[in-house]
Structure 1
Amino acid sequence: MSGEADGGADTPRDRTPDRGFDPAGRLAARARDDLRRDLTPVERVAARSRLAEDPGSDPITFDGDERVVFAANNYLGLAGEERVRAAAAEAASDVGTGAGASRLITGDTPAHRELERELADAKGTERALAFSSGYATNVGTITALDPDVIISDELNHASIVDACRLTDAETYVYDHCDPTDLRATMRERSREATGEESWLVVTDSVFSMDGDVASLAAICDAVEEFGAWLMIDEAHATGLYADGGGVVQREGLADRVHVQMGTLSKALGSQGGYVAGSATLIEHLLNAARSFVFSTGLAPPSAAAARAALRVAREDERRREQLWENVARLRDGLEAIGYDVWGETQILPVVVGDRERTMALGDTLDDHGIVAPGIRPPTVPEGTSRIRVAPMATHTEEDIQRCLDAFRAAGEELDLV
């Protein structure tokens, strides 16, 4: 006994296994794989802003000159638009800065209802429902639908991928933007199906990394042939086409799409996401979508700002035209310099290919006052690392030219053009 007391045997504490985590080791592994990232504070959300190094827990210090930002999804420049800011301030004063509870308890305010009516009108549906984020919208909607089978484009957004993982559905992935492969996948599944099944086909309309557009009419044809439901993610399209619609509206397909999803945080310059569809769909989601039911409602100032932004997007045709003019000028200029520019939308992926050369290009652009960081795997496939250039309607001709000059100088420095 005295030997044990003197430490001759392990104490219970000594025998306790280590079942904790090693954040430092995981961070070191990310750094070794060149995947560690830091936060980069911006002074304001606009076409031009000063940036700061990540201060950790210390106060932010902004110094140096403004840089031109080509890395935001604020496509119409509405995050700082006077009418949008005024609407947010008025809602904060009249309704409150936060919803205070789930929408199903006491968090359902006039700001939410007014936004949802406007969204439903713009999307050509009976009703709409606003969520606290686009991510929560996709996860909540897909899990609430609880399909037996999900058939998803291979380059769909991470929130769709995660939603598929959270369901019990058997998930199939079809080749990117390939309605023929979608149809073949559905045909194969139909041969295997036993009894009745619910099928959900889901795709982005505009893909955030490639800047291309799904062939929605052909997808509708395939979906209708097999009696499935179709969900379209319009995150990067909402507000950019006539009357504030997305690609679904541009192509006149609203009556063929069962679930229209979108965000309020990109072209509409606010925060949150939404689903638009039939009244019964919305009633089901507000009862069954866990990310809606168990989240505090979208902040009233965000809802009011999104509604005001949607009104600007619907009424201010010149603002939309300015965006597309900036897009065309940048695309033509980048291609003239010698860059490979993918896509067909407001998203301009300048594809370099090699990871290291892409990141060096992003750093060199920053040295020239342009914010357009490199995008590398696993965000994009191996061999397709790129600079994702995102112009805004509020970029001036001087801003566009400065961007082109920086790409030319950086490309020559790095022997890319």
Structure 2
Amino acid sequence: MPRRRSTGRTFDGEDDFDEHLARRLAARERRDLRRGLTPADRVGERARFATDRGSDPPSFGPTELVFASNDYLGLAGDERVRRAAAAAARDVGTGAGASRLVTGDTAVHRALERDLADAKGTARALVFSSGYAANVGTIAALSPAAVFSDELNHASIVDGCRLSGAETVVYDHADPDDLDRKLRERGADGPRLVVTDSVFSVDGDVAPLADLCDVAEAHGAWLMVDEAHATGLYDDAGGIVQRDGLGERVHVQLGTLSKALAAQGGFVAGSEPLVEHLLNAARSFVFSTGLAPPAAGAAREALRIARENARRERLWENAARLRNGLADAGYDVRGETQILPVVVGDRRDALALAEAVRDRGVVAPSIRPPTVPEGTSRVRVAPTAAHAATDVDRCLDAFRDAGREVGLL
């Protein structure tokens, strides 16, 4: 097909369409913020990667150890999960075909939702096409007068607040006292919704959920907790809400199927009225084709495996081994979960460290402003249950050697 030619029409009275976007990309490049795709040959603890060649077939390099994945239990390549996805495709189809309110609601979806509700200790669950869709659809459908959002909440929560049209009040990160002050200042003019991640994806820390419950209850506010980076990792494949015994105090529990559950999609768990309301009012559910049956089948099998102890125990052993080794090497390792931010400060140092580690066959991404505040650039390290002890040791060796090479150790 011939390449589409530039129209020559002006955009903002200055450039044509393509030139305008090229200028914006160049500005990103000058700020070290331009990103590109990095095709991988597989999802797992080891993979081969290629540089982004657009629509051309990728050319893969040597195998590298991946410490950058959210596949925390290492189930994306598990044969049992693959078989479950294949069985759902064979028995139901590769796609849902329509919104679940039309013809796309299948027994595979219902079985997954029953198991999710059981794991979360709720009456019902509802699966969405993505965690992003679950957040934006749920917040808007709840129609609060005001949303109180942790300042480090995920972008999907931020966008959900914007799309809801509600007044949005941002409280200091993981600070129940600041939340209490702002709820008091705002007053009780209509329903108020408090929203927080449980595990924060870049800092690896945990929200003080019990204290947030206390504050929300004192002000008669609703509480919604996004367990994207916690679902499947605690007792009976629950999240922090289950670990801390707070299921009866959290109105809306949200999670993803695309991280520890090794599939695709998101879900909301809660009361019968909540789920019935969402399947009628959440636009990202109502006006979207249902979750693909293979993803639902894979997630259900991954949830079953996650409810056993072995994978979770291996993950926490690997995380502790890696955290202790990085700290002993002299790195500033923050957080308290399976997400290990190695904070180096300067953005150039973070980029240099990630590149030097990559040169040693270990993939771990640099995270820099505006994703994190100035002076807190870091390399985000995430082990999985699929990593062997020798893999963790190789990662530690790479960080020690790379840190000395770039002058951080």
Secondary structure of residue in 2 paired with 1:331: helix
Shift of 1:287: 0.6
- Does residue 1:145 correspond to 2:142, yes or no? yes
State the alpha-carbon separation in 2 of the partners of residues 116 and 71 from structure 1.
29
Alpha-carbon displacement from aligned partner over 1:369-408 (angstroms, at most 9, x marks no partner): 0000211111111111100000000101111010000000
Query: Which residue of structure 2 aligns with residue 3 of structure 1?
Result: none
Q: Which amino acid in 1 is paired with 2:374?
A: E
- Does residue 1:245 correspond to 2:238, yes or no? yes
Query: Which residue of structure 1 aligns with residue 133 of structure 2?
Result: 136
Query: Which residue of structure 1 aligns with residue 247 of structure 2?
Result: 254
Query: Which residue of structure 1 aligns with residue 310 of structure 2?
Result: 318
- Does residue 1:415 correspond to 2:407, yes or no? yes
Query: Which residue of structure 2 aligns with residue 158 of structure 1?
Result: 155
State the alpha-carbon separation in 2 of the partners of residues 113 and 83 from structure 1.
20
Query: Which residue of structure 1 aligns with residue 29 of structure 2?
Result: 31
TM-score (norm 2): 0.95
State the alpha-carbon separation in 1 of the partners of residues 95 and 160 from structure 2.
27
Query: Which residue of structure 2 aligns with residue 282 of structure 1?
Result: 275
Query: Which residue of structure 1 aligns with residue 366 of structure 2?
Result: 374
State the alpha-carbon separation in 1 of the partners of residues 157 and 328 from structure 2.
36
Q: Which amino acid in 1 is paired with 2:313?
A: E
State the alpha-carbon separation in 1 of the partners of residues 213 and 332 from structure 2.
31
Alpha-carbon displacement from aligned partner over 1:119-162 (angstroms, at most 9, x marks no partner): 00000100000000011110000001110010010100001011
Secondary structure of residue in 2 paired with 1:328: helix
State the alpha-carbon separation in 2 of the partners of residues 120 and 163 from structure 1.
23
- Does residue 1:112 correspond to 2:72, yes or no? no
Q: Percent identity?
A: 69
Taking structure 1 as reference, are residues 40 and 285 closer, same or farther at Cα in structure 2, changes over 3 Å only? same
Secondary structure of residue in 2 paired with 1:351: strand
Query: Which residue of structure 1 aligns with residue 346 of structure 2?
Result: 354
State the alpha-carbon separation in 2 of the partners of residues 370 and 345 from structure 1.
20
Query: Which residue of structure 2 aligns with residue 306 of structure 1?
Result: 299
- Does residue 1:60 correspond to 2:53, yes or no? no
Secondary structure of residue in 1 paired with 2:170: strand
Secondary structure of residue in 1 paired with 2:225: strand
Q: Which amino acid in 2 is paired with 1:50?
A: R
State the alpha-carbon separation in 2 of the partners of residues 69 and 261 from structure 1.
27
Secondary structure of residue in 2 paired with 1:72: coil
Query: Which residue of structure 2 aligns with residue 384 of structure 1?
Result: 376
Query: Which residue of structure 1 aligns with residue 72 of structure 2?
Result: 75
State the alpha-carbon separation in 1 of the partners of residues 13 and 181 from structure 2.
51
State the alpha-carbon separation in 1 of the partners of residues 22 and 168 from structure 2.
35
State the alpha-carbon separation in 1 of the partners of residues 261 and 373 from structure 2.
29
Query: Which residue of structure 1 aligns with residue 4 of structure 2?
Result: none
Shift of 1:20: 5.4
State the alpha-carbon separation in 2 of the partners of residues 155 and 128 from structure 1.
26
- Does residue 1:102 correspond to 2:99, yes or no? yes
Shift of 1:277: 0.5
State the alpha-carbon separation in 2 of the partners of residues 329 and 347 from structure 1.
13
State the alpha-carbon separation in 1 of the partners of residues 365 and 153 from structure 2.
21
Query: Which residue of structure 1 aligns with residue 211 of structure 2?
Result: 218
Q: Which amino acid in 1 is paired with 2:181?
A: A
- Does residue 1:335 correspond to 2:327, yes or no? yes
State the alpha-carbon separation in 2 of the partners of residues 80 and 259 from structure 1.
31
State the alpha-carbon separation in 2 of the partners of residues 130 and 337 from structure 1.
43
Shift of 1:19: 8.4
Secondary structure of residue in 1 paired with 2:116: helix
Unmatched tracts of structure 1, length 5 or more:
1-12
Shift of 1:18: 6.5
1:203 pairs, out of 190, 196, 210, with 196
Secondary structure of residue in 2 paired with 1:256: coil
Secondary structure of residue in 2 paired with 1:275: strand
Shift of 1:347: 0.2
Query: Which residue of structure 2 aligns with residue 182 of structure 1?
Result: 179
State the alpha-carbon separation in 2 of the partners of residues 337 and 313 from structure 1.
32
Q: Which amino acid in 2 is paired with 1:146?
A: S
- Does residue 1:292 correspond to 2:290, yes or no? no
Secondary structure of residue in 2 paired with 1:269: coil
Q: Which amino acid in 1 is paired with 2:318?
A: N
1:403 pairs, out of 395, 399, 408, with 395
State the alpha-carbon separation in 2 of the partners of residues 42 and 384 from structure 1.
28
TM-score (norm 1): 0.94
Query: Which residue of structure 2 aligns with residue 127 of structure 1?
Result: 124
State the alpha-carbon separation in 2 of the partners of residues 388 and 292 from structure 1.
32
Between stretches 161-170 and 280-289, larger displacement belongs to: 161-170
State the alpha-carbon separation in 2 of the partners of residues 328 and 19 from structure 1.
53
State the alpha-carbon separation in 2 of the partners of residues 183 and 381 from structure 1.
24
